[in-house]
Amino acid sequence: MYTVTDLDRDLSVLEAQGAKIFTVGYSELGRPIKGIFKGRTDGPQLLVQGAIHAREWVTAQLCVLLAERYEGECGLWCVPMSNPDGVMLAQYGLDSVANAEKRDFLYGINGYSDDFSLWKANARAVDLNVNFNALWGTGRSNVTYPAPGNYIGPYPFSESESRALATFTDKVRPRFTVSYHARGRVIYYGFNGANPDPQIPRIASASTGYPAYTSEGSAGGYKDWFVLTTYRAGITVEVGTEGTPYDELQKQLPSMLAENSGLLQALDSEARKSL
């Protein structure tokens, strides 16, 4: 596993090595959403985020490892675990929820099963990556009721986690964003027919070896919102082999790391080229 405690420990190590640790906000259950900053605050900035989907917690560990290795000149703002409540739920089930009423609610939503390992949403059963204000509610897989995944929430930005990430992104004004998800070893780019910085998916594809596709039928995601509101490139990178059980993806970390270790450096060079 890679838990909130593991993340805290790794952040302390990185801080001791000179990285800055920041908090973008708090989850619905009050857990801090922490990040790592490296590089320079002047000039172009990059933002990388992971584990917005609970069961994809392996991407939090990948983000930490990538931030640790980053040596670019752009400022790198890395938010490894955007959905800490969901990750806790996927890993520890209802034991991670203190409030009895919330536990009962989540148990029912999960089909009265104690196994939350396939949970995608946050602790209010909202899928954060369809809760952003980008053609909200029009996505192909959207559902309009609380669920383990794909529930858009009552209105855009109804969730503290999506609000925190958006507010923070507005503040940083990154040149490019990378969102780590699992699985498929594929890159998605653009939104609703828009493809700003078309060289970015090409560069990312060359660097990782993953094919890059325009995202069809997607709405309300972090990447969707970033592309729509800034007209800059945001990409979604899906790591891990399709079909691998989520709780076994951690075994693929060495190959994930090898495939993704050049990506941030490539984006760093590209961001500085466009100055």
Q: How far apart are CA 39 and CA 71, in angstroms?
A: 7
Nearer to Zn ion, 74 or 187 (CB): 187
Nearer to Zn ion, 22 or 213 (CB): 213
> Is there binding between residue 55 and Zn ion (CB under 5 A)?
no
Q: How far is the CB of 205 from Zn ion (least distance, A)?
A: 19
**Exposed e or buried b for every residue in 141-169, given b needs 16+ CB within 10 A?**
ebeeebbbbbbbbeebbbbbbbbbbbebb
Identity of the amino acid at 29: L
Stretch that binds Zn ion, among 52-60, 110-118, 165-173, 219-227 (CB under 5 A): 52-60
Nearer to Zn ion, 78 or 271 (CB): 78
Copy the structure tokens of residue 13.
């190590």
Q: How far is the CB of 74 from Zn ion (least distance, A)?
A: 25
Nearer to Zn ion, 82 or 110 (CB): 82
Stretch that binds Zn ion, among 55-63, 110-118, 241-249, 250-258 (CB under 5 A): 55-63
Q: How far is the CB of 223 from Zn ion (least distance, A)?
A: 11
Question: DSSP string of the chain?
Answer: ---HHHHHHHHHHHHHTT-EEEEEEE-TTS-EEEEEEES-SSS-EEEEEE-SSGGGTHHHHHHHHHHHH---SSEEEEES-S-HHHHHHHHHGGGG---HHHHHHHHHHTTT-S--TT--S-TTS--GGG-SSSSTT--TT-BSS--SS-B--SSTT-SHHHHHHHHHHHHH--SEEEEEEESSSEEEE-BTTB-SSTHHHHHHHHHH---EEE--S--S-HHHHHHHHH-S-EEEEEES-TT--GGGGGGGHHHHHHHHTTHHHHHHHHHHHT-
Site for Zn ion in 75-114 (CB under 5 A): none
> Is there binding between residue 181 and Zn ion (CB under 5 A)?
yes
Q: How far is the CB of 52 from Zn ion (least distance, A)?
A: 7
Q: How far is the CB of 244 from Zn ion (least distance, A)?
A: 14
Nearer to Zn ion, 53 or 124 (CB): 53
- Number of residues counted as binding Zn ion (CB under 5 A): 3
> Is there binding between residue 38 and Zn ion (CB under 5 A)?
no
The β-bridge partners of 143 are: 151
Nearer to Zn ion, 3 or 236 (CB): 236
What phi and psi, each to the nearest 5 degrees, are found at residue 40? Answer: -110, 145
Q: How far is the CB of 15 from Zn ion (least distance, A)?
A: 28
Nearer to Zn ion, 34 or 181 (CB): 181
Q: Which member of 53, 124, 183, 185 binds Zn ion (CB under 5 A)?
A: 53
Site for Zn ion in 231-260 (CB under 5 A): none
Nearer to Zn ion, 14 or 121 (CB): 121
Q: How far is the CB of 180 from Zn ion (least distance, A)?
A: 8
Q: How far is the CB of 182 from Zn ion (least distance, A)?
A: 7
Residues that bind Zn ion (CB under 5 A): 53, 56, 181
